Amino acid sequence: MHWIRHLAGNTVRLLLHPAALGRLALLRAFLRVEFKRKILVELCGSRPTSERVFGQTVHFSDYNIFALVFSEVYRTGVYYFPTRVASPLIIDAGANTGVSLAYFKTIYPGCRVLAFEPNERNFELLRRTVRANGWANADLYPFGLHRTAGEQWFFDYNGLPGSLSCGFWEPAEAGPAKSKTMVRTVRLSDYIDQDVDLLKLDVEGSEMAILEDLIEAGKLARVRRIIGEYHHHVKPDEDRLGEFLTLLERAGFGYHLHAPLPPPFPERQAQNFMFSAYRKAGA
């Protein structure tokens, strides 16, 4: 019954709201993915490891996780951004296995993308996705992004194939970790030498460190738009949202937040929400 409500609710929303990829085309893709997940994967036990979406092939380890990310990226259109540039430069920080990259290549085929993904399993699938599509101008980096370059422990908190819950925060702060690996970290500022049309951030709690690096290096001025997920209370007693938004304001950005959390409000509970920051006129 929950799945039926989920299907019906999203069908209505897709029909009522405009979409960059077209309402009916997006609805067909959404229904195909959902029925395949429910019937072939859950009921029949099939284990597909790739899917075609809008002419692009995406590789992954788990279809349920793919369906979740597909819904977040394609159904909502959260990473859509207007641009008059024929070949926009996009930085995909936290590229996972390539669903967001496929979306960018669909709406802007001529875009250049710098994709960063420190999870070794995800990065290999990301590389397979890029090779399967023969995408030009897609540069892949198996690094984590942080305020400083070096090496850090990288923790996986759910242990699922194509894990969506990894980060640099310590297990004592975020609960027990399933595994940890040492990964190389780099400064995003070292990779920016021209204007960036979109910085997409899905970095599981490292968004403040990346923003601080860009400010310190004087590179935030070259970023026109940021769309990302802010991870509030990853560390239960750390409250830096005001500081994060103040840094954006001082740099000349306006922003919108989407932070659903039904009352009664809990204390110190992790809350993830989306934000879109855009350059104000004259900034």
For the chain, what are the domain ranges? 77-279
Q: Provide the 3-class DSSP secondary structure of residue 265.
A: coil
pLDDT value, residue 281: 85
Which numeric CATH code is attached to 77-279? Answer: 3.40.50.150
Q: Residue ranges of the alpha helices (H) in 42-194?
A: 63-70, 99-107, 120-133, 171-174
Listed in sequence order, the residues at least 6 apart from 167 whose beta carbon sits closer than 8 Å to its beta carbon are: 154, 155, 157, 174, 203, 204, 205, 206, 231, 234
- Structure pTM? 0.94
Tell me the angle at which helices 99-107 and 120-133 cross, rounded to the nearest 10 degrees: 30
Band (pLDDT 50/70/90 cuts) for residue 279 is very high
**Range of lowest pLDDT (62-76, 101-115, 127-141, 261-275):** 261-275
pLDDT value, residue 164: 66
- Tell me the average pLDDT across 260-266: 86
Band (pLDDT 50/70/90 cuts) for residue 161 is low
